[in-house]
Structure 1
Amino acid sequence: MLTAIGLDDRHEAAYRALVAVGAADVADLARRLTLGVQDTERALQGLERQGLAARSSARPGRWVAAPPAVALGALLTRQRHELERAELAAALLAREYRAAAAEPAVHDLVEVVTGASAVAQRFLQLQLGAAEEVCALVTGAPVAVTAPENEAEEQAAGRGVRYRVVVERAVLDLPQALGGLTEALGRGERVRMADRVPTKLVVADRSLAMVPLTSHSAEPAALVVHASGLLELLAGLFESVWREALPLRLNTDGAAEEVPDGPDGTDLEVLSLLLAGLTDASVAKHLDLGLRTVQRRVKRLMELAGVTTRLQLGWHAYERGWVTRGRPD
């Protein structure tokens, strides 16, 4: 818990033990920590350098803990100052970067990354740097990073970054693919499936994209695309594939299930009543459905349409002809 202020597990354990007993000699503390005497003494010396422990002047050979409120408070204050300086340096660098990129040269809009290690590092950085959304097209076998190795995805999703992913059907046959998709769905990521995906692609915050390069060599390579018309084209490609793909669900056995590609009769009734101006509660009462059932059906309709608001759903309903269909027999 104290790693954030520079204490490793051994130093933290030694400090906690010293706080618990108030004062102890090296041998006693070593027994409590199940460490060797030399390792315990080195840990105490490390605590001494950070002001967390001191040799007892009243009882030679014994060590005492510094009061946590004072000693840890000082370390926290120092850490805050260091973070503030780092944030200031990052802000200044970002300002310099924006100034230099205000009129970017053509060759600055695209980076060529070569080698499995470099491609993997850039792929992970792209996700860790995302603030709002990561969109991805996933095909076939991985180029540089497998699903279990993609720790950045879990970290970014944990920070609240939204993920929209379209996977090619063939991906489901890869080892550990279903396990990875189950975890992604469990984190709240939106996953769709298509028979075929045109290319691997990752777009972060619509400001940066990464796409593999077709190469005759065995060495993986990729293009990293910055804000430009090319980036807009790649983002548009993702949205096009996303709209045509079907939402993916996994049943209790871990098998993939596709959501039907259109609304059923009850969905159409719900939709028509909502477009007529009824509230969710009124629709539920009119159709003799539960309120939560109506809301679940609306959410599913939004997923089918690939939209995030009910206003967009109404527009897509007219575009797709949903509101003009009759209820199936």
Structure 2
Amino acid sequence: MLGAIGLDERQETAYRALVALGAAEITDLAHRLALPEPETERTLRRLEQQGLAAQSSARTGRWVAAPPGIALGALLTQQRQELEQAELAAALLAEEYRAESAEPAVHDLVEVVTGASAVTRRFVQLQLGATEEVCALVRGRPIAVRGADDEAEERAATRGVTYRVVVEREVLTMPGGITELTAALGRGEQVRVVDRMPTELVVADRSLAMAPLTGRGAEPAALVVHASGLLESLTGLFEAVWRDALPLRLGGGGDAVIATAAAGPDTTDLEILSLLLAGMTDASVAKQLDLGLRTVQRRVKGLMELAGVSTRLQLGWHAYAKGWVARDLRERP
């Protein structure tokens, strides 16, 4: 807990013990911490350097704890000042980088990232660096660029970053696929589905993109594209796939599930309808939603009767006409 102000686990434990005791001999503290006395003394010396402990003037070998409100407050103030200086340095470096890259050379417009760990690290950086929007095309079996990183997405969402994600239908049938997509919808992300995905892709703030460079089976490698005509093409590709994809509605998805009148379809009906329109079979829908096959078929029949249609194709058209599902055809700037 106190690692943020420079204490390791052993130092924090020793300080807490010393605070609880008020004062203690090295022997007693070593026994309490289950540490050798030399190691305990080194830990106390470190705490002394940070102003958290001091040797008693009344008795040699006895140590007392500095008042936490004063000692920790001073360390926190120092940490804030150092953080402010780091933020200022980062801002100056960013300004210097922008000035230098105002007219980048052609070879500076792309980066080649190789190796699974390097690709993953760059992918997370891409999301954490976004300030407005992250767009992603996700395949069922990704080659290099993953479609989601829960921790990075949650941290980005807390900063107001929006997500638009298109997933390949195969994702819905993979273990944990529905659960992950439900969580994404719950974070306010917009999710759509296509039958086949042309490629994997992540675009951050329309200023940086990442796409796979190698084929399946080879060492993971990705291409990071900066502002350029290629970036505009990749962004255009995402928008084209997004326009043709079907919106996904799942329980627990917040705004992704629309409110309906009592006589209209309920939340489960909308989940079933959304998955069917995404191309899943009745059996697959039943499995993913933990429903019986007959329950799914009965609900679909009920939707057809409610819509006054005789085929599932007609049901799909009716669903769009009545707003049970929606496809946003508006062009984005």
TM-score by length of 2: 0.70
Query: Is this contact kept in 2: 1:124–1:150, CA < 8 A?
Result: no
Once the two structures are superposed, the pairs formed by residues 233-312 of structure 1 within 5 Å of their partners are 233-251=233-251, 257=272, 259=274, 304-306=326-328
Deviation at 1:233, TM superposition (A): 2.2
What does the per-residue CA deviation read over 1:132-162, in whole Å, with 9 as the maximum and x for residues that have no partner? 2211110121224667866423332344322
Instruction: State the secondary structure of the residue aligned to 2:249.
Output: strand
Residues 212 and 303 from structure 1, CA distance in 2 versus in 1: closer, same or farther, beyond 3 angstroms?
farther
Q: Residue 245 of structure 2 aligns to which amino acid in structure 1?
A: A
Q: Given the alignment of the two structures, is residue 186 of structure 1 paired with residue 208 of structure 2, yes or no?
A: no
Could you say which residue in structure 2 is the equivalent of 1:96? Answer: 96
Query: Is the 1:201–1:210 Cα contact (8 Å) retained in structure 2?
Result: yes
Q: CA-to-partner distance for each residue in 1:47-73, whole Å, 9 max, x for gaps?
A: 112111011111222211112233222
- Show structure 2 runs of 5+ residues with no match: 253-267, 278-321
Give the equivalent residue in structure 1 for 2:311: none
Tell me which residue corresponds to 2:130.
130
2:325 and 2:28 map into 1 onto residues whose CA distance is: 63
SS in 2 for 1:304: coil
Please say if residues 134 and 164 of structure 1, whose CA atoms lie closer than 8 Å, have aligned partners that are also in contact.
yes
Q: How far did residue 216 of structure 1 move?
A: 8.3
CA distance in 1, matches of 2:230, 2:140: 24
Distance in 2 of aligned mates of 1:158 and 1:6: 26
The offset of 1:26, in angstroms, is: 2.7
SS in 2 for 1:77: helix
Amino acid at match of 1:181: L
CA contact (8 A) 2:10 2:43 kept: yes
Amino acid at match of 1:304: A
Aligned to 1:296: none
Cα contact 1:209–1:224 (8 A) shared by 2: yes
In 2, distance between residues paired with 1:18 and 1:147? 48
Q: Which moved more, 1:34-43 or 1:119-128?
A: 34-43
Segment of structure 1 superposing worse, 68-77 or 36-45: 36-45
Partner Cα separation in structure 1 for residue 176 and residue 217 of structure 2: 28
Q: Give 1:205's aligned residue.
A: 205
Q: 1:306 is aligned with what amino acid?
A: D
Structure 1 residue matching 2:248: 3-state secondary structure: strand
Residue 195 of structure 1: aligned partner? 195
CA–CA separation in structure 2 for the residues paired with 1:180 and 1:143:
19
Whether 1:78 aligns to 2:78 is: yes
- Residue type matched to 2:105 in 1? A
Q: How large is the RMSD of aligned CA atoms in angstroms?
A: 3.2
How far apart, in 1, do the equivalents of 2:327 and 2:14 lie? 58
Distance 1:105 1:147 in 2: 30
- CA drift of 1:210 comes to 0.6
Offset of 1:91 from its aligned partner? 1.7
Residues 306, 62 of structure 1: alpha-carbon distance in 2 compared, 3 angstrom cutoff: farther
SS of 2:179 mapped into structure 1: helix
Alignment partner, residue 139 of structure 2: 139
Q: Secondary structure at the match of 2:326?
A: helix
- Provide the TM-score with structure 1 as the length reference: 0.71
- Alignment pair present for 1:112 and 2:134: no
Show CA shifts across 1:114-138 (max 9, x none).
3323222211111121122211110
Aligned in 2, Cα 1:249/1:43: closer, same or farther, shift over 3 Å? farther
What is the rounded CA distance, in whole Å, between the counterparts of 2:42 and 2:195 in structure 1? Answer: 61
More deviation in 217-226 or 118-127? 217-226
Q: Greater shift after overlay, 185-194 or 57-66?
A: 185-194
The Cα of 1:6 is off from its aligned counterpart by 0.9
Q: 1:136 to 1:304 in 2, by over 3 A?
A: same
Please give the alpha-carbon distance, in whole angstroms, between the structure 1 residues aligned to 2:10 and 2:28.
Answer: 16
Deviation digits for residues 240-280 of structure 1, max 9, x if unmatched?
A: 22222222233489xx745387xxxxxxxxxxxxxxxxxxx
- For the residues of structure 2 that align with 1:35 and 1:184, how far apart are their CA atoms? 46
2:223 aligned partner: 223
**Would you say the 8 A contact 2:124–2:149 is kept in 1?**
no
The answer on whether the counterparts of 2:138 and 2:146 sit within 8 Å (CA) in structure 1 is no
Shift of 1:170: 1.0
Provide the residue aligned with 1:57 in structure 2.
57
Paired with 1:249 and 1:123, the residues of 2 have a C-alpha distance of: 27
3-state SS, counterpart of residue 140 of structure 1: coil
- C-alpha displacement at 1:97, in angstroms? 0.8
Quote how far apart the aligned CAs of 1:29 are: 3.0
Corresponding position of 2:257:
none
